């Protein structure tokens, strides 16, 4: 019986080592991806000229299928790229409501509009009915505010868990539970 637990313990240690090794390689891959995408692939998104056609969307063939993650499948971590913006819902001296969004580039929009999510899910047809279908509202911690203020209107790469708008506090069809945000010279995790 003791040999069984010894073998089990060795297998668990090997699995932990394998997991940590894979995690390190994945992180290195992300940094290489960041370097090439931020430096060599332009993704300026002028909001007044954005058309669904430019994003590969045929408005006549939108799906009614909900982008719902099946039970038992873990939440999907996504990495998205775009322009960081501060949107103002309304502005008064004491009661302004502002929120951070990422205006998605085309490849990131394709990721966002095909990623199934947990909980309340929208269809692509419902997403495209919104005026800001190309934006992701960022759910960020207070300690990320300074980074965002320094990088407003800049290209950034964000990572986190995507979900769809389902309350009055959500002002874009996509919302991201932000875990990481990257800019050219600065990383915040």
Alpha helices in the chain (DSSP H): 2-40, 106-112, 124-128, 145-150
Cα gap 17→76, rounded to integer Å: 23
Domain boundaries, the chain: 1-40, 45-188
**What tokens does 91 get?**
């502005």
pLDDT > 60? residue 70 = yes
The secondary structure of residue 76, as a DSSP letter, is P
pLDDT tens column, 9-45: 555 565 566 555 665 555 555 444 444 443 334 444 4
Cα gap 126→111, rounded to integer Å: 16
Whether the pTM exceeds 0.75: the reply is no
* Topology adopted by domain 45-188: OB fold (Dihydrolipoamide Acetyltransferase, E2P) (2.40.50)
């Amino acid at each position: 019986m003791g040999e069984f637990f010894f073998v089990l313990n060795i297998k668990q240690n090997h699995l932990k080592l394998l997991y940590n090794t894979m995690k390190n390689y994945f992180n290195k891959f992300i940094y290489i991806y960041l370097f090439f995408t931020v430096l060599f692939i332009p993704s300026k998104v002028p909001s007044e000229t954005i058309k669904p056609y430019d994003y590969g969307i045929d408005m006549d063939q939108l799906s009614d299928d909900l982008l719902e993650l099946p039970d038992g499948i873990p939440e999907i971590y996504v990495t998205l790229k775009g322009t960081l913006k501060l949107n103002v819902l309304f502005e008064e001296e004491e009661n302004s409501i502002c929120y951070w969004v990422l205006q998605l580039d085309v490849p990131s929009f394709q990721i966002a509009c095909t990623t199934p999510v947990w909980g309340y899910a929208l269809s692509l047809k419902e997403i495209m009915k919104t005026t800001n279908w190309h934006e992701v509202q960022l759910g960020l911690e207070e300690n990320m505010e300074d980074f965002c203020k320094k990088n407003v209107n800049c290209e950034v790469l964000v990572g986190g868990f995507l979900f769809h708008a389902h309350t009055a506090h959500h002002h874009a069809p996509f919302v991201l539970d932000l875990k990481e945000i990257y800019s050219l010279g600065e990383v915040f995790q």
